[in-house]
Amino acid sequence: MTKPIILTGDRPTGQLHLGHYVGSLENRVRLQADHQQFIMIADMQALTDNADNPEKVRSNVVEVALDYLAAGLDPAQTTMFVQSAIPELAELTMFYLNLVTVARLQRNPTVKSEMQQKGYGADVPAGFLMYPVSQAADITAFKAGIVPVGEDQLPVIEQTNEIVRKFNSIYGDVLVETKGLLSTHTRLAGLDGKAKMSKSLGNCIYLADDADILKKKVMAMFTDPDHLRVEDPGKIEGNMVFSYLEVFDTNKEYVAELKAHYQRGGLGDVKVKRYLLEILEAKFAPIRDRRAEFAKDKAEVMNMLRIGSQKANAVAAQTLLEVRRAIGVEYF
């Protein structure tokens, strides 16, 4: 039986954090046993808004790979590769750009939102504006039927399928439509409670954080600013400690008890934070330790990416050949 094909990945603009873990890494580790999974380190897409800082992107390629391995992704089951090592993706992007209007790209809700976050107007880099087309090339190059995404990325899946349908209607059935696979968790909020966990906002816990850093971050988490005394009733809405417990503590009955206790008063923030710290340490200390072991030989990690990129290149090259033949530009 043929395994379903999955394509997913991350931009190497920093190490991966707990939001990435619950949003995608857990799913990827779970799915790799019975799916043909390709995971891309999207360095070219990272350059769309980091063109003036290529070293930031370059140095984080190996860091993201270390996070993948530490989380449990197995190169024997999952093909991990670097986007820029697959030149076929750029050529597919060029073909697909002829099937998309600038107006359609500007209407893409994901692009509009990210442009607003970054303060882009008419001066938006062209590469940033058209990155949904690049993502369509990434997905279709591997004929991926499944793409794990957050809800904010569903418009990119929709636009990919629009490109697939338009290409197939003009040139014949070559490309495959895809489906977005949503995480079981909503996006993890940052430590400050103000927004999603984000590298740019500095409100993250990273997989690589050591025990001391993890403790400092947990003890500084946003709770209920009006909960001034232990005996006071506290609010759990917007309280990041309880939000994280809901995600990471498997003992849901005990979490419910803690919530009730906190709401009626008599339970201090420090005690709840210390409990959360125990939960996070139990879950992520083994991941942190594995990461440290893999980091001892970064050259071997890069070799793993080189081998994965060779495998991915062979698949993408076959798709590109089919695309070129369908369009009629395979001359020689």
Of the given ranges (81-95, 122-136, 249-263, 307-321), which has the lowest mean pLDDT? 122-136
Judge whether 50 lies within some domain. Answer: yes
- In the predicted structure, residue 225 carries a pLDDT above the cut 80: yes
Nearest-10 Cα torsion for 250, 254, 259, 262: -130
Q: 12-65 pLDDT, tens per residue?
A: 999 999 988 988 888 899 999 999 999 999 999 999 999 999 999 999 999 999
Task: Tell whether 139 and 284 lie within a shared domain.
Answer: no
The larger pLDDT score, comparing residue 195 to residue 262, is at: 262
- Over 60: is that where the pLDDT of 251 sits? yes
Task: Reply yes or no on whether the pLDDT at 256 is more than 90.
Answer: yes
Asked, for residue 26, whether it belongs to a domain, the answer is yes
Question: Which pair of structure tokens corresponds to residue 172?
Answer: 């014949």
Does residue 195 lie in a domain region?
Answer: no
287 confidence band (pLDDT: 50, 70, 90): very high
Answer yes or no: is 306 within a domain. Answer: yes
Amino acid letter, residue 110: T
Q: Report, as an integer, the average pLDDT of 137-152.
A: 92
User: 11 and 68: one domain?
Assistant: yes
Residues 40 and 71 in one domain: yes
> Is residue 37 included in any domain, yes or no?
yes
Is the residue at 13 inside a domain?
yes
* 160 and 83 fall within a common domain: yes
Mean pLDDT of all residues in 288-299: 97
Domain limits for position 282: 211-292
pLDDT of residue 198: 76
Q: How confident is the model at residue 311 (pLDDT cuts 50, 70, 90)?
A: very high
Q: Indicate if 279 and 317 belong to the same structural domain.
A: no
pLDDT in the model for residue 244: 95
Chain segment 232-248, per-residue pLDDT in tens: 999 999 999 999 999 99
Q: Residue holding tokens 């692009």?
A: 111
Residue 197 in domain: no
Give how far Cα 63 sits from Cα of 30, 34, 50, 66, 316, Å. 21, 26, 17, 5, 25
204 found inside a domain: no
Is residue 177 located within the same domain as residue 281? no
Look at residue 317 and tell me whether its pLDDT is greater than 90: yes
Q: Say yes or no: 126 and 227 in one domain.
A: no
pLDDT of the residue at 298? 97
Number of domains in the chain: 2
Which domain CATH number covers 143? 3.40.50.620
Mean pLDDT of the chain: 94
Do residue 182 and residue 319 come from a single domain?
yes
CATH code, 274:
1.10.240.10
pLDDT tens column, 71-98: 999 999 999 999 999 999 999 999 999 9
**Bigger pLDDT: 278 or 332?**
278
pLDDT at 118 over 70: yes
Q: Which long-range contacts (CB under 8 A, 24 or more apart) does 264-267 make?
A: 264/233, 265/230, 265/231, 265/232, 265/233, 265/234, 266/230, 266/231, 267/230, 267/234
Q: Do residues 16 and 129 both lie within one domain?
A: yes
Which range among 50-54, 94-98, 192-196, 301-305 shows the weakest confidence by mean pLDDT?
A: 192-196
Residues 177 and 265 in one domain: no
Which pLDDT band holds residue 166 (cuts at 50, 70, 90)?
very high
Residue 42 near residue 12, CB atoms below 8 Å: yes
Which residues lie below 8 Å from residue 87, measured CB to CB, with a gap of 6+?
Answer: none
At residue 199 the predicted structure's pLDDT band, cuts being 50, 70 and 90, is: confident
Is residue 182 located within the same domain as residue 238? no
The answer on 230 and 119 residing in a single domain is no
